[in-house]
A and B are shown apart, each in its own frame.
Chain A
Amino acid sequence: MTTDTLPPPAPTVAPIGRGRRGGSLLGRSLRYLTLVLFLLIVLIPAYVLFVTSFKGLGDATPARAWNLPTSWETAGWSRAWEQLAPALGRTFSMVIPAALISAILGSLNGFVLARWRFPGADIVFTLLLFGMFIPYQAVMIPLVQLMQDLQVPSGIPSLIVLHVVYGIPITTLIFRNYYAGVPDELIEAARVDGAGLFRTYLSIILPISMPAFVVVLIWQFTSAWNDYLFALFFSNARNGPVTIALNFLASGQLQDYSASMAGALIASLPTLVVYIILGRWFVGGLMAGSVKG
């Protein structure tokens, strides 16, 4: 029954199955060689970002992209920090509530759609899912008007609302598929006890939801953090998140290359840290992003 639902996301990355032998020595060497080659290719942009961010003004030109800095300077970093710091603070104050609220909504929805179903729950779920795939351009023009009519202030408040609302489909999906894997006996036991919806949720479901919560929080955190489209329409350089501030820093006419590159690193740091510390969960979150596991 689990073929087309998500496995509980956490263990998907953990190696399953016993180790198979890696083949002959030659085969193994070739394998490593290819892997290392790709590793270098993947790291090229990271190298350029890192090296350029430490260059001085004359040194940081596209023509010298591949050279190491003639002297390692941190001026670019401090210029970038100066420009991005307020936006970083705002981004945190947007992303954290947005992730928390959408995780809670997703958990409740997922529970009902997986375990407390009502007639038509499947079709409702499918309709919800469609919301996850739409290009947001298709709602943008009336959305600008709607947010104005609701008088939601531009900037962080608008973005919280938008990330919560448009996060409902994906978070519901992840929780629903996670809860679908909860053994029937657990729920049945509660039902026999005569527990209602809320008691079942609180006493049975919530305590085992931790893995799914982590996945959803990471997912929402990264997607809200990296969002540019909503930020472009609903905020500005003064009240917007870090993607807007970074674009502002990097698209200037007199390009401050070292600060742009340092800025790109600074803006990516939070998601990278999340990813390094919780890498396993992050992969789980990615897997959960697929409708099928």
Chain B
Amino acid sequence: MRHWRRWLPGLLLVLPSLVLVGIFVYGLIASNIHTSMTDQHTRVEEGGFVGLQNYRDLFGDEDFRYSLRNLVLYTVTFLVGTLAIGFMWAWLLERRLKGEGFFRAVYLFPMAVSFVASGVVWRWLLNSAEGDRASGLNRLFEGIGLGFLQNPWWTDPDWGILAIAVPAIWQLSGYVMALFLAGFRGIPDELREAARIDGASEWQLYRHVIFPQLSPVALSAVIIVGHMSLKVFDLIMSISGQTNYTTKVPAIDMWVEFSAGDYATSAAIATVLLAIVAVLVVPYLVYTFRQERQR
């Protein structure tokens, strides 16, 4: 009986936040899913219930499948790029070089800039003109004798979306580096020493001591970069714009349909996007939850 007196004030204190999140997250998700199952395809009409029709239409639409394909390509590239570069930087800086703080700061600074601001310059750098009229990176490549690297960047119908991953990697690699750096620094020296005394080679040391210690860091990097990547929107809006075909992703489609007044389709796209993010994040949250429980 005295027990609830003890915890009730705590519950009351967090209740407003819980209610807000309950409404603004869960309530609105439910409402959005409802809209996605109606035929409200213009601003004015109230939609009638049509079940999963909008989803069937979406997945039957080649252009939407192309958006999904783009999203997958982008996410894989973005993830591999940031993890590889971030890990390499952390590995290079791990041994306390002189000037470490400076390198770290420079590598990290793009993180502080908004995608809208960096989009301004990347739009320039990724200009698709080649040869005589080349500008941006294509011109730089030509100038330093790497002319064969010139390419149409984001206007390529097959791989254009990967060009959008370039600025994204530029922006987030430093962040992943910071995560790994913290991971490296969290490995007790004694562990390394012990391995060395056992006669482990450098490779074995990494394979059996360092990588296992870093895997939780890598996991959280994957979750964080991955969910950011799935939500990509700002960057595409400011580099290639909303009508460009080669850089279509679901978030852009959602905005285009929304501004054309097709709420049902827009809501369906948003729900698909949510489902994709949930596939990545929910297992992770469940796993974290279980871990908490065990303590």
Given the interface pairs A131-B21, A168-B20, A222-B112, the reply to whether A138 lies near B273 with Cβ below 8 Å is yes
Nearest chain B residue, comparing its CB with the CB of A168: B17
Report if A141 contacts B (CB, 8 A): yes
Q: Which of A108, A141, A247 has the most CB of B within 10 A?
A: A141
Chain A window 224-253, contacts with chain B (Cβ cutoff 8 Å), 1 for yes, 0 for no: 011111001000000000010011001100
Q: Is B224 an interface residue (CB 8 A)?
A: yes
Decide if B56 is an interface residue (CB 8 Å cutoff).
no
Q: Does B50 contact A (CB under 8 A)?
A: no
B136 contacts chain A at the CB level, 8 A cutoff: yes
Task: Please tell me if the beta carbons of A39 and B112 are within 8 angstroms of each other in the complex.
Answer: no
CB closest chain-B residue, reference A45: B121
B291 touches A4 (CB 8 A): yes
Check if B113 is an interface residue, CB within 8 A of chain A.
yes
For the complex, give the distance between the alpha carbons of A221 and B183 in Å. 26
B32 touches A138 (CB 8 A): yes
State which residues 38-71 of B face A: CB under 8 Å: none
The reply to whether A137 and B251 form a contact with Cβ atoms under 8 Å apart is yes
Judging by beta carbons under 8 Å apart, are A143 and B217 in contact? no
Question: Are B113 and A271 in contact (CB-based, < 8 A)?
Answer: yes
A158 within 8 A of B: no
Contact present for B116 and A228 (CB under 8 Å): yes
Please, which residue of chain A has its CB at the minimum distance from the CB of B223? A291
Any A CB within 8 A of the CB of B271: yes
Report yes or no: B139 in contact with A1, Cβ–Cβ below 8 A: no
Q: Which of B10, B103, B219, B263 has the most CB of A within 10 A?
A: B10
- The yes or no answer to A81 lying at the interface (CB within 8 A) is no
- B234 contacts the other chain (Cβ, under 8 Å)? yes
Q: Cβ of A196 < 8 Å from any Cβ of B?
A: yes
**Min CB gap A242→B, angstroms:** 9
- A122 contacts B289, C-beta separation under 8 Å: yes
> Which residue on chain B has the smallest CB distance to residue A62?
B135
1/0 contact string of B94-118 vs chain A (CB within 8 Å) = 0111001001011111111111111
Contact pattern, A 57-85, Cβ under 8 Å of B = 1, otherwise 0? 00001110110000000000000000000
Within 8 A of A (CB), among B1-34: 7-11, 13-14, 16-18, 20-21, 23-26, 28-29, 31-32
Judged by a CB distance under 8 angstroms, whether B285 is at the interface is: yes
Q: Is the CB of A18 within 8 A of B234?
A: no
Q: In the complex, which residue of chain B has the Cβ closest to the Cβ of A105?
A: B17
Q: Which of B174-194 contact A (CB under 8 A)?
A: 174-175, 178-179, 181-182, 185-186, 188-189
- Using A130-B25, A143-B28 as known contacts, say yes or no to A172 and B17 having CB atoms under 8 A apart: yes
Do A264 and B118 touch (CB < 8 A)?
Answer: yes
B237 at the interface (CB under 8 A from A): yes
Query: Is A210 in contact with chain B by the CB < 8 A criterion?
Result: no
A136: which B residues are within 8 A, CB to CB?
A: 231
Q: What 7 additional pairs, Cβ within 8 angstroms, besides A137-B273, A138-B270, A267-B114?
A: A62-B136, A118-B11, A122-B289, A133-B281, A134-B277, A142-B28, A142-B32
Shortest beta-carbon contacts, A-B, top 3? A62-B135, A226-B114, A138-B274
